[in-house]
Copies of this chain bind each other. A is one copy, B any other.
Amino acid sequence: MQTGTSFWRVNINQTLELLHSHRSDRSFTEQPIAEAELAAIVEAAYRGPTSINGQQVSLVVVRDPARRALLAEIAGGQPWIARAPLFITVLIDFAKTARAVAAAGEQQVIHESVEGFGVGAVDAGIALANLMLAARSLGLGVVPIGGIRKDAQAVIDLLELPQLTFPMCGVAIGHIDQPARQKPRLPLATFRHDETYRADALTPGVIADYDATISHYWQEIGRPEGLPWSRNLAGVYKLVYYRDTKPVAARQGFLNDK
């Protein structure tokens, strides 16, 4: 599966090792996360870049077991959210920027556009990546979660989120019980393009090979009910799976431009 790479000639450091070995560990002990570790993890997202230094991202840190249990349910029944001692929700937050724009005597409109929502989503992704890597550098396990958008309104109510904020994604963090295996990827040639895009990298044969690879992976980790890649994608992407995103975001004040 893996095409030839030559990065073995680089001195691999701890950071590259962590980045190259990313996996979601869905099995956690009940050991809590120390406050000092949590502070170091949050700082990693806090120091990340944001578009025009707008800082249109905020975090809500949830330790409370009852609130985690509700988030697990909202996300479609994801037990690792209830089990992990810590869940961090990453918000697109144009409430803060709106105050700054008002302080400067103008009225913010960026949040009404797809451009604004997209900027916030990219910045949320950066924050999420930094949270994951910081946690993993401390030996902790992580599961990134988009499922909170399944019922975004319930998350908004639970976390008391104001207008111009939206819960885009989150991450469960805990001490690893049973380590996970890394999931195989499509061939690198479908991901890396040089100078211009090559549309012919993902052939039906490559898809069939990868389906077989993923099916083999499911067998090996003891989840034989797992679907081949293309069938799983088809089931989710033949419809708008989290169909509340747009209307709930609109109720929060986003995406109302015509």
A107 B238 Cβ-Cβ under 8 A: yes
Interface bracket on A: 35 or more
Which of B58, B106, B202 is the one whose CB lies under 8 Å from A238? B106
**Residue contact A59 to B193, C-beta cutoff 8 Å:** yes
By the criterion CB–CB under 8 Å, are B100 and A234 in contact?
A: yes
- CB <8 Å contact, A238 and B196: no
Contact with B along A98-142 (1 / 0, CB 8 A): 011101111111101111111101111111111011100110000
Q: Does A67 count as interface, using CB distance less than 8 angstroms?
A: yes
State the Cβ distance, A114 to closest chain B Cβ, in Å. 4
**Given the complex, which residues of B lie within 8 Å of A114, measured CB to CB?**
114, 117, 245-246, 249, 255
Q: Which of B19, B59, B127, B237 contacts A109 (CB 8 A)?
A: B237
Interfacial residues of chain A within 195-221, with CB under 8 A of chain B in the complex: 195-197, 199, 202, 204, 207-208
Rounded to whole Å, the gap between the CB of A90 and the closest CB of chain B is 9
Name which residue of chain B comes closest to A128, CB basis.
Answer: B126
The CA of A239 and the CA of B243, in the complex, are separated in Å by 28
Q: Which residue from chain B places its CB closest to the CB of A188 in the assembled complex? A: B46
Return the contact of A22 from the options B48, B95, B208 (Cβ within 8 A): B48
**A residues adjacent to B (C-beta < 8 A):** 5-10, 12-16, 18-22, 24, 34-37, 39-40, 42-49, 51-55, 57-64, 67, 91, 95-97, 99-101, 103-110, 112-119, 121-130, 132-134, 137-138, 144, 146, 149, 159-162, 165, 168-169, 182-183, 185-186, 188, 190-197, 199, 202, 204, 207-208, 228-243, 245-246, 249, 255, 257
Q: List 25 A-B contacts (CB under 8 A).
A: A5-B43, A16-B40, A19-B133, A19-B134, A42-B192, A48-B129, A49-B144, A52-B236, A54-B233, A55-B190, A60-B193, A60-B196, A61-B193, A101-B233, A106-B235, A108-B234, A108-B237, A110-B241, A113-B245, A115-B149, A115-B241, A124-B125, A126-B129, A160-B197, A161-B197
